Structure 1
Amino acid sequence: MTDINSIGLQKTSAEQLAEKLNELLANYQIFYMNVRGYHWNVKGQDFFQLHEKFEEFYDDLLTKVDEVAERILTLGYTPVHAYSDYVKLSRISEDKNVSDGAACVQGVVKGFQTIIELQREMLTLSEDAGDEGTADQAGQYIREQEKTIWMLNAYLGR
């Protein structure tokens, strides 16, 4: 029996990566639902602009949910898929009944900050394991989301 999985990674490293990716997946799912809520419930002068922007964000988050789950499968493991598991694993809390535009944007910033923190942890693990695929995925996400945070902070006047 070999200690190498089907894509050439140590099985113990792949298992650690899959666990961290499942944590990331849970955070993406909770964050996705928070952003859907902002989209549905935002009120105020910037309604049209924010409503459209939040839709753009949640569409992108849904794509990333799928890509993270597929990476877990590529490593040879099963993505968590129950909402109760997401709530247990997520560092991001459910954000309920938020309708103020600025508060919604602050929620998005906070969510992206948490996601980036997790992806940096993922990046370190994947580099240590020699997993260029996961490292590349995390790096691309981080670069994109850092720019988004900059833009949202500019919107908030920070």
Structure 2
Amino acid sequence: MAISIGIAKKDREAVAKNLSKLLADTYSLYLKTHSFHWNVTGPQFNSLHAMFETQYNELWLAADEVAERIRTLDVFAPGSYSQFGKLTSIKEEAGVPEWKDMVGQLVEGHEVAAATARETIKVADKAGDEGTADMVTGRLKEHEKTAWMLRSLLR
């Protein structure tokens, strides 16, 4: 059955393209945060280990929400490492940095995801897609808040 939600196909595809970038950023940030959770050491171990766990769990749920929104727009969501690698703006970390660098990289990652979310909201607004704009506004706020909380550890 054809989709008829009041948004033209080309507009749904444009929104989904931006959502796919947000999904890739979210999933890449999830992987980085989970890796840091496993590998953090130092005097802040206990608090960072717990904080990273809370953050990667939130990102896991967010990835599902973003992917399901793409599908709601009747577009297939990316779902492979290679697709995410092409779409994300999050820098990969192949090693195990010190805890301060971990925190700094996560601040940067959340700020990148916030910028991607902000751009996605603009495209959604232009398409008259209030559902996507609302969902992504929540994501934007979460990325900004998490970046602030992480940044406070470095002062």
TM-score range, shorter chain: over 0.9
Shift of 1:5: 4.2
Does the 8 Å contact 1:92/1:111 carry over to 2? Answer: yes
**TM-score (norm: length of structure 2):** 0.95
RMSD (Å), alpha carbons: 1.3
Which runs of 5 or more residues in structure 2 are unaligned? none
1:79 is paired with a residue of what secondary structure?
Answer: coil
Q: List structure 1 segments (4+ residues) > 6 angstroms apart after TM superposition.
A: none
Q: What is residue 118 of structure 2 aligned with on the other side?
A: 120
Distance apart, 1:93 and its partner CA: 2.2
**Could you tell me whether the CA contact under 8 Å between 1:26 and 1:89 is conserved in 2?**
yes
Q: Pick from 59, 63, 72 the counterpart of residue 61 of structure 2.
A: 63
Q: Is the 8 Å Cα contact of residues 43 and 99 (structure 1) preserved in structure 2?
A: no
* Contact 1:34/1:96 (8 A) holds in 2: no
User: Partners in 2 of 1:59 and 1:110 — Cα distance?
Assistant: 19
Alignment deviations for residues 9-65 of structure 1 (CA, whole Å, 9 cap, x no partner): 111110001111111111111111111110011110000000000000000000010
Instruction: Give the aligned partner of residue 85 of structure 2.
Output: 87
CA distance in 2 between partners of 1:5 and 1:114 (Å): 32
Q: Give unmatched runs, 5+ long, in structure 1.
A: none
Matching residue's letter, 1:144: E
Letter in structure 1 aligned against 2:40: V
The offset of 1:130, in angstroms, is 0.8
CA deviations 1:70-100 (Å, max 9, x no partner) are 0000000100111111111111121122241
| Residue equivalent to 2:31 | 33
Q: Deviation of residue 141 (structure 1)?
A: 1.3
Deviations 1:98-154 (A, max 9, x none): 241111111110110110000000000011111111000111111222122222211
* Distance change (3 Å), C-alpha of 1:51 and 1:99: farther
Counterpart of 1:147 (choices 132, 140, 145) is 145
Could you tell me how far apart the structure 2 residues matched to 1:36 and 1:120 are?
A: 25
User: Do the aligned partners of 1:30 and 1:86 also contact (CA within 8 Å) in 2?
Assistant: yes
